[in-house]
Amino acid sequence: MFDEVKSMAQRAMGSDADPQAMQQATSEHLDSMDQGEVSDHLEAAATNLQNQGQGDLAQQAMNLVSQLRSNPGGAKDAVVSFIASNPQVLQHFAPSFAQGILSRL
């Protein structure tokens, strides 16, 4: 399953990737989750990013976790933008989370 998700993520990051489609898919997936789940997934991704030496993206993810906790409604758009602008981060999320987005593309 992980290799399948990794392959899907690599296609999403390819030169033919459509940023608007990524935004739409991410938005739809987040709509199917509660804020606590999204926050948990972001925290795990931030840890994975940090462990892989991508501190800037890890910090952005942790900032989004803080936003989700303080202003859940307003943070969704920021999470969508973060993922759509940095589709490579999907490789650092749990396969089930990434697949939920990638399967909508």
In the chain, where the domains are located: 34-105
Q: What radius of gyration do the chain's Cα atoms show?
A: 12
Q: How many CB atoms lie within 10 A of CB 59?
A: 13
Task: Let me know the angle formed at the C-alpha of 88 by 58 and 93, rounded to the nearest 5 degrees.
Answer: 60
Mean pLDDT of the chain: 87
pTM > 0.95: no
Confidence of residue 15 (pLDDT cuts 50, 70, 90): very low
Amino acid at 100: G
Residues in the chain: 105
